[in-house]
Amino acid sequence: MTLHLHHLRGCAPAPLAHYLKALGILRVVGRQKDPDARGYWHDEHFCLLTKLDQGALERFLLEEYAPTPFVSPWNRGSGFYAAEDPGLGPLEKSTAPRFEPFRHGIAAGRAPLAAIGAADARVRALKDRTKKKKGMTREQATTAEKLKLDPEFKAELSAAEREFKRLKADLYAPFVSSWRQGHREWLDAAMVLSADGEPSWASLLGTGGNDGRLDFTNNAMRRLGDLFDLSSPSGAPSVAAPRLLAQALWAAVTNDLQSGPVGQFLPGTAGGANGTTGPDSSALVNPWDFVLMLEGATLFRGETTRRLDARGGGRAAVPFAAYAHPVGHGTRGQEKVDRGEQWMPLWRQPTTLDGVEALLCEGRAQVGRSVADRPLDLARAVARLGVARGLSGFVRYGYLERNGQSNIAVPLGRIATGERVHARLVDDLAGWLDQLQRLVRGGDAPSRLAIAEGALADAVFSVLTRDEGPARWQDILVAAARVEALQASGTGFEAGPLPRLSGEWLDAAANDSPEWRLALSLGSAAAAHGRRGTVDPVRAHALPIERGRYAVKEKRLVRSPRVVMTGRDALGDLVAIVERRLTEATQRGERELPLVAWRGAGARLTDLAAFLEGRVDVPRTVWLARALMAVRWRGSPVHPGARQAPQREPDAGWQALRLCGLPFEVAGRRVPIDAAMVRRLAAGDATAAVGLALRRLAGVGLRPPLRSAVVDAATARRWAAALAFPIEPHIAHAMAARFSNLVTTEPA
């Protein structure tokens, strides 16, 4: 058997109408003509592999194709409630065999409508009595206005509307229980009926095949009337149908596009304000595009046996659908996204209709044992190969409200599948992200928290969907620290602090930058690290935490004097840590600065020199350090690289200060520190501070190669801030050796 490969260049992954059209072509060809037909995506268009050559494919669609019965009798605009509807009527009266399934669908829809039609007519008749009509006398118009306010009339109208709604609500169950064949497939795509009889809607098809005032099914019936002669015995194609089909399949040029609504699926031709060079434009549509688009949408069926998530708020459980979260966008707008978003799968291997239906029926995107139902969850599933059937990627669509109840399906980007080595690290943040998003979604959160949460979500989404270099992982840490800084000020602390991070974050985010290495030293700093754990870590100076939770009293954060980091001034925060540690040590009768880094994480002289010379991004360093304070340091190996002689060393005056107050012996000596040194530095008086340090060093037999130091006030403050970065004993030993003319055996 000869197979023909058709490049359907009229079917692209975007816009949504063209994506669905591609699936619709595979569906009708596979269902009605060639069960072995296969389709796949290649070079930004859909490819169809079938036994039909180009002529046979076109003849099938023009002469044999039997449309799926798109009928939505639960919608008022579906045509079932009009006496002579121009869309439904001609199809209902048609005699061509190709439209027989559609006639069966219409008949199945009409069966339970007698009572609801009478109730609807009653409501319309009552409302008609209150309308002002042309030719009315002033007395009649006044009577109509008064009738609106009449309590008895209002009660009568309310009762009639309740009866209509009751009958309409009871309408769904008979359809679900009695419909079969093609119109049942459409019903399953348009809604899912819960156990208590309440319908939930798939965002792809609006509210049951309806978007605002546009009913998709009635519009499809009218488009079929544009393509075929519904009154002929064979349902012959119209004169323009072949040219329109060539445009729909092969992207041929045609001027036969017709004026008509297209809904949310094709925003570029939806018309409206600023739709063209003038102030307004009309909607244009290729009828084939609309009809085949609905054929494809019918594949996205929600199963009644699927669990509806408690967070759904009335949305059906349909394939690869996610709740709204403005993450990963180029810009973060204020559009309403109550209908969420949907990720449309792409694949490169030729797949039959059965294979595509199996994929969409499963709709399986998982994170562990949980269904991925939010953008970040879907990104995690894609990054961890949690998506079935060997997909190559997804096109991400958001259903945004444009004006009134009119929605548009906007492409939000392309997501490629593939394994990312460190993707599982996001699990550490998953619960915290949920809590933050819940606070923001609640509507009472201040805008600064929404902005900070959005930046964090964007950073996480970026590392899951793009390259996962160290800079992107560091961006997550910085964004998380900014959120914590807001929480420490009393905003959004209900979500709790940044959870404890595994040591693998150190591998994922590590790079050869002074900012990272200095952040490691400060982030791991504590009074001591021992076998029983870390003693008094510096995180206590950033957040009011007790046993891993925020200290709260009377629904407010406890104001602890130990919390000295504000997040507003990076250098000031570093100085505040040093001053607070010295104050607490003095209160205990100690004369040292109790800051010890985790093994291998101590600051290097080269990095400290860069910091003191102003060649380090201090804010980024401090934000990284704040996030690293949440790392489980016990059992976390740090790989600082091979020890090398420093390329540059800090000023000898600062080294003299640094040797004072170390929490360990240096060459058999302990050099006490005076809190006045740091106070003088913070005030800009480095000369006095260094003088005090020199006297302390001389008292233990160290002979620094200087007698005084003179620097400006800004540099003096930077000297004080640099004391917050712990150094390791071998670094201190090397400095002390230079001061005492000792020979060191360990390079710095």
pLDDT in tens, 51-97: 999 999 999 999 999 999 999 998 888 998 888 899 999 999 999 99
Q: Which amino acid is at 699?
A: G
**Residue 642 pLDDT class (50, 70, 90 cuts):** very low
Give the position of tokens 């919608």. Answer: 75
Instruction: Give the chain's mean pLDDT.
Output: 86
The pLDDT score that the predictor gives to residue 280 is 59
The pLDDT score that the predictor gives to residue 275 is 55
pLDDT tens digits along 149-204: 788 888 988 898 888 887 776 778 778 888 888 899 999 899 887 777 778 888 89
Tell me: pLDDT of 39 over 60.
yes
Give 413 or 332, the one with higher predicted confidence: 413
Token digits for 134?
């042309």
Token digits for 428?
């550490």
Token digits for 475?
């961006």
pLDDT tens digits along 253-302: 988 888 878 888 988 776 655 555 555 567 789 999 999 999 999 999 87
Q: Which residues contact 194 (CB under 8 A, 6 or more apart)?
A: 200, 308
Token digits for 144?
């109509």
Percent of the chain having pLDDT more than 70?
90
Distances (CA, A) of 597 to 584, 687, 726: 18, 28, 6
**Residue 389 pLDDT class (50, 70, 90 cuts):** low
**Residue 235 pLDDT class (50, 70, 90 cuts):** very high
The pLDDT score that the predictor gives to residue 304 is 47
Poorest-pLDDT segment among 90-94, 355-359, 617-621: 355-359
- In this structure, are strands 552-553 and 556-557 parallel, antiparallel, or unpaired? antiparallel
**Residue 46 pLDDT class (50, 70, 90 cuts):** very high
The pLDDT score that the predictor gives to residue 400 is 84
Query: Once rounded to an integer, what is the mean pLDDT over residues 652-656?
Result: 91
H helices of 531-569, in order, are none
Maximal CA-CA distance, the chain: 112
The pLDDT score that the predictor gives to residue 740 is 64
The pLDDT score that the predictor gives to residue 112 is 79
Can you name the residues that pair with 416 across neighbouring β-strands?
A: 393
**Residue 305 pLDDT class (50, 70, 90 cuts):** very low
Percent of the chain having pLDDT more than 90?
54
The pLDDT score that the predictor gives to residue 338 is 64
pLDDT tens digits along 514-553: 999 999 999 999 999 887 788 999 999 999 998 889 999 9
CA count, 13 A, side-chain hemisphere, 428: 22
The pLDDT score that the predictor gives to residue 258 is 84
The pLDDT score that the predictor gives to residue 368 is 59
Tell which phi-psi region holds residue 721, choosing left (phi > 0), alpha (psi between -120 and 50) or beta. Answer: alpha
Poorest-pLDDT segment among 209-213, 429-433, 479-483, 641-645: 641-645
Query: Once rounded to an integer, what is the mean pLDDT over residues 249-255?
Result: 93
- Which secondary structure element, helix H or strand E, spans residue 661, and what is its range? none
d(CA 419, CA 410): 27
Give 104 or 138, the one with higher predicted confidence: 104
The pLDDT score that the predictor gives to residue 18 is 97
d(CA 513, CA 384): 29
d(CA 644, CA 412): 48
The pLDDT score that the predictor gives to residue 708 is 86
Q: Which of 169, 438, 235, 174 is nearest to 323 (CA)?
A: 438
How many other CB atoms sit within 10 Å of the CB of residue 283? 18
Query: Once rounded to an integer, what is the mean pLDDT over residues 127-134?
Result: 78
| C-beta separation of 318 from 371 below 8 A | no
pTM of the model: 0.83
3-class secondary-structure state, position 159: helix
The pLDDT score that the predictor gives to residue 174 is 79
How many other CB atoms sit within 10 Å of the CB of residue 73? 25
The pLDDT score that the predictor gives to residue 391 is 85
Query: Once rounded to an integer, what is the mean pLDDT over residues 40-49?
Result: 97
**Residue 334 pLDDT class (50, 70, 90 cuts):** low
| C-beta separation of 51 from 3 below 8 A | yes
Query: Once rounded to an integer, what is the mean pLDDT over residues 680-689?
Result: 93
Query: Once rounded to an integer, what is the mean pLDDT over residues 194-217?
Result: 84
Tell me: pLDDT of 367 over 70.
no
**Phi, psi torsion values for 276, nearest 5 degrees:** -150, -165
**Positive/negative CA dihedral, 542, 543, 546, 547:** negative
Query: Once rounded to an integer, what is the mean pLDDT over residues 101-113?
Result: 90
**Residue 307 pLDDT class (50, 70, 90 cuts):** very low
